[in-house]
Amino acid sequence: MKKLLWLIIAVSAVSIMAGTASAAKLLLINGAGATFPYPLYSKWFYEYAKVDETVNFNYQSIGSGGGIRQITAQTVDFGASDGALTDEQLKAAPGELLHIPMTAGAVVITYNLPQVSQSLRFSPDVIADIFLGKIKKWNDPRIAKDNPGVNVPGDNIIVAHRSDGSGTTNIFTDYLSSVSAEWQSRVGKGTSVNWPAGLGGKGNEGVAGLVKQTEGAIGYVELAYAVKNNLPASDIKNKSGNFMVPSIESTTAAINGKMNSMPADFRVSLVNPDGADAYPIAGLTWILVYKNQPDKVKGEKIVKFLRWAITDGQEYSAELLYAPLPEKMVKKIEERIDEIRY
Amino acid sequence: MKIKFVDMAFKKATTIAALSVVALICLLVYSMALRSMPAIQKFGWHFLFTGTWDPVKEVFGALPFIYGTVVSSALALLIAVPVSIGIAVYLAELAPSYIKQPLSFLIELLAAIPSVVYGLWGIFALAPFLRGSIQPFLSKYFGFLPLFQGEFYGVGMLTAGIILSIMIIPTISSISREVFLAVPFTQREAALALGSTRWETIRLAVLGYARPGVLGAVILGLGRALGETMAVTMVIGNRPEISASLFAPSYTMASVIANEFTEATSNLYLSALIEVGLILFFVTLIVNIIARALVWRVSNKVKGELRE
């Protein structure tokens, strides 16, 4: 009995020592936050491990809310969020938090109308009134006006939205608030809102499931999900009056459209940008880091990684269906990264 | 001397293990109450009796979630209890042994399926079937009842109730079967000796005797139904509204927590969600107390009947 006990102690002591020995080689940097950029971030961490072998990134995609809470509590080395922090949230943090834009995503409006073969087109006010529950039938004259020559059936419109809090909902409701005064005052924008109409599905797959299963349904999903699953995507009328197909290029164009009004802290919404070829329902996603890094070694590694991610790292964006940041934007972000002290 | 010490140590150890459950529950309630204080102070009792849930304007009321949880669980019991008792009686009393084993195995297998699989099956198979066949049928022949009115979405309260009932049938039926098997054979022999038919034997000797145990099984099933999150979230439609129709979308307490907790950024929002968790805890507690009281009454009655 005693022998067994000693054996257990010995084995565990050896394994603990082995554990610390291998950990000493690698510097572990912890991050947590948004789920939307997770596929891109994990690709980056994988590729970056080849660039710098001494550092290991560990990212928990627990949601933007959790990411903001954890970086505020300083339990992680960096946070990530699909929504910019409010002034209040910035004040709650123990130090100055910087928003570093990493990539952009777009939201696609998808639908289920088996009779309609070409892509439907929507004006901003029509989308808002559909999601407000005011346009109830597919053959509404306002939908027909945007789609001349398309035989739209007289089915009821069934709205599907995300039931879980998400950055996708944040971008979409941000867009609706910017194009409809009624949406802005009645519903507003956020990761979860009080939906005036429709059914809630959990996750992109939940919304896509509802739309696929229900004839006459309309819903929104993120671009990458819509492309990978071949969902029908609507063309949306942008500020210049062009109907734009959601794509990586038109999302990057949306960032370009906001360059002139880009604030220094990058807390900017991409919806409804200028530019003839910009897709209007898009949003940035950020990594959150403290301007004054508490740990010299980690701070240096984080800065190096961020610089790599917005330059070399951008080449991985398109294949994973994220919009690469435009050159001009990258320059501005590099200046911002230079401000980080460690 | 040594034996006495071991005995004592063993008793202490088991006592600590048992008390740790009590401590855990107290700690759970305490920390939830603490974290939900901002919402409790802001909304007070209104939280329980109002139905607006608006994270943007930070107005929160949990009534539709409470309603959704209670009604979907009740619906699940309504469907699952008769079916489960049927299964249990068949397995315990009637089935030939070459059916008994594989069937019991299959039912226990149902309990091992993860709830997300039930949810996916619900959204991709059950919901379209209900919308295409069952809902039009119910609406045509029972449409005069407010229960079966409104548009057919496929997802909604009815779908959630059916999914839940499928998920709790294994629990209720396998425990009930064990309870039936535990009924002493003398009971059945006595009934048969009095000239009872098979049905009368089962009804008088088995079902009557086993009532408290079956109720216990139902409580366990109810517990699972009240707390079930994933499968329900996927098929209930997630709409915080109270509607008389079973076709309408609804929302449960567990679902709203699962849906919104990760992205809840403001303190009030977070504490409102934690308060929903606290309410779910108390609803479960109250339902369990009522059910225990029921078991206690029934088992006393059974004992009384047996004495007579």
Q: For A288-336, give the DSSP string.
A: EEESB-S-HHHHHHHHHHHHHHHTGGGGGTGGGT-BPPPHHHHHHHHHH
pLDDT in tens, B72-129: 999 999 999 999 999 999 999 888 989 988 998 998 888 889 998 999 899 889 998 9
Q: A209 in contact with B at a CB cutoff of 8 Å?
A: yes
Q: Is B258 in Cβ contact with A199 (below 8 Å)?
A: no
Q: What is the DSSP string of A147-189?
A: STT-----PBPEEEEE-S--HHHHHHHHHHHHH-HHHHHHT--
Q: Is B262 in Cβ contact with A65 (below 8 Å)?
A: yes
pLDDT of B216: 87
- Scan for tokens 């039912």, then name that residue: B107
pLDDT in tens, A162-195: 999 888 999 999 999 999 999 999 999 988 999 9
pLDDT in tens, B48-77: 999 899 999 999 999 999 999 999 999 999
Q: B124 in contact with A at a CB cutoff of 8 Å?
A: yes
Q: Is A65 in Cβ contact with B263 (below 8 Å)?
A: yes
SS3 A41: helix
Helix pair angle (B267-307, B63-89), 10° resolution:
30
Q: State how far residue B104 is from chain A, nearest Cα, in angstroms.
A: 33
Q: What whole-number distance in Å separates Cα of residue A110 and Cα of residue A201?
A: 14
Q: Which residues on adjacent β-strands are paired with residue A159? A: A218
SS3 A105: strand
* CA nearest to B251 within chain A: A200
- Scan for tokens 């590099």, then name that residue: A334
pLDDT of B70: 93
Q: Is A193 in Cβ contact with B56 (below 8 Å)?
A: yes
Q: What whole-number distance in Å separates Cα of residue B308 and Cα of residue B306?
A: 5
Q: Is B127 in Cβ contact with A192 (below 8 Å)?
A: no
End-to-end CA distance of chain A: 53
pLDDT of B267: 85
pLDDT in tens, B130-188: 988 888 888 888 888 888 888 888 899 999 999 999 999 999 999 999 999 988 888 88
Question: Which chain A residues in 29-58 lie under 8 Å from chain B, judged by CB atoms?
Answer: 35
Given 3-state DSSP classes, what are the helix, strand and coil percentages for chain B, each rounded to the nearest 5? 80, 0, 20
A118 contact partners, CB below 8 Å, separation of at least 6? A150
Q: Which residues on adjacent β-strands are paired with residue A109? A: A220
Q: A184 in contact with B at a CB cutoff of 8 Å?
A: no
Chain B residues touching A200 at Cβ < 8 A: 237-239, 249, 251, 259
Q: What whole-number distance in Å separates Cα of residue A298 and Cα of residue A296?
A: 6
pLDDT of B304: 65
pLDDT of B289: 87
Chain A residues touching B153 at Cβ < 8 A: 158, 199, 214
Which region holds residue A131: left if phi is over 0, alpha if psi is between -120 and 50, else beta? Answer: alpha
Q: Are A225 and A109 in contact (CB under 8 A)?
A: no
Q: State how far residue B66 is from chain A, nearest Cα, in angstroms.
A: 17
Strand bridging mode A78-81 / A121-122: unpaired
Q: Closest to A202 (Cβ–Cβ): which among B53, B233, B265?
A: B233
Q: Is A68 in Cβ contact with B265 (below 8 Å)?
A: yes
Chain B residues touching A191 at Cβ < 8 A: 55, 263-265
Chain B residues touching A199 at Cβ < 8 A: 153, 155, 237-239, 249
SS3 B51: coil
Q: Is B56 in Cβ contact with A187 (below 8 Å)?
A: yes
Identity of residue B59: V
Q: A89 in contact with B at a CB cutoff of 8 Å?
A: yes
Q: What whole-number distance in Å separates Cα of residue B229 and Cα of residue B256?
A: 9
pLDDT in tens, A74-105: 999 999 998 889 898 899 899 999 999 999 99
- Is the per-residue pLDDT at A23 higher than 50? no
* CA nearest to B122 within chain A: A209
pLDDT in tens, A204-233: 888 998 998 888 999 999 998 998 888 999
Q: State how far residue B52 is from chain A, nearest Cα, in angstroms.
A: 8
Other CB atoms within 10 A of residue B16 CB: 10
Share the mean pLDDT of chain B: 89
A133 contact partners, CB below 8 Å, separation of at least 6? A159, A196, A197, A198
Q: Are B266 and B58 in contact (CB under 8 A)?
A: yes
Chain A residues touching B237 at Cβ < 8 A: 199-200
Tokens of A126: 């029509």
* CA nearest to A64 within chain B: B263
A132 contact partners, CB below 8 Å, separation of at least 6? A180, A182, A183, A186, A187, A196, A197
Q: Which of A164, A172, A212 to mutate to test the interface with B (most CBs of B within 10 A)?
A: A164
Q: What whole-number distance in Å separates Cα of residue A246 and Cα of residue A227?
A: 10
Chain B residues touching A64 at Cβ < 8 A: 263, 265
Q: State how far residue B300 is from chain A, nearest Cα, in angstroms.
A: 46
Chain B residues touching A190 at Cβ < 8 A: 55-56
B275 to A184, A220, B125: CA distances (angstroms) = 28, 30, 34
End-to-end CA distance of chain B: 50
Which comes out higher in pLDDT, residue A291 or B204?
A291
Q: A285 in contact with B at a CB cutoff of 8 Å?
A: no
Identity of residue B51: G
Chain A residues touching B128 at Cβ < 8 A: 213
Q: A214 in contact with B at a CB cutoff of 8 Å?
A: yes
Question: Which chain B residues in 159-218 lie under 8 Å from chain A, judged by CB atoms?
Answer: none
Q: Closest to B151 (Cβ–Cβ): which among A69, A156, A166?
A: A156
pLDDT in tens, A34-55: 888 999 999 999 999 999 999 9
Q: What whole-number distance in Å separates Cα of residue B103 and Cα of residue B95?
A: 10
Tokens of A290: 């403290």
Q: B122 in contact with A at a CB cutoff of 8 Å?
A: no
Q: Closest to A213 (Cβ–Cβ): which among B124, B233, B237?
A: B124
Query: pLDDT-based confidence at A280, cuts 50/70/90?
Result: very high
Of B152, B155, B75, B153, which Cα lies nearest the Cα of B123? Answer: B155
pLDDT of A4: 55
Q: B123 in contact with A at a CB cutoff of 8 Å?
A: yes
Q: Which of B265, B266, B273, B276 to mutate to test the interface with A (most CBs of A within 10 A)?
A: B265
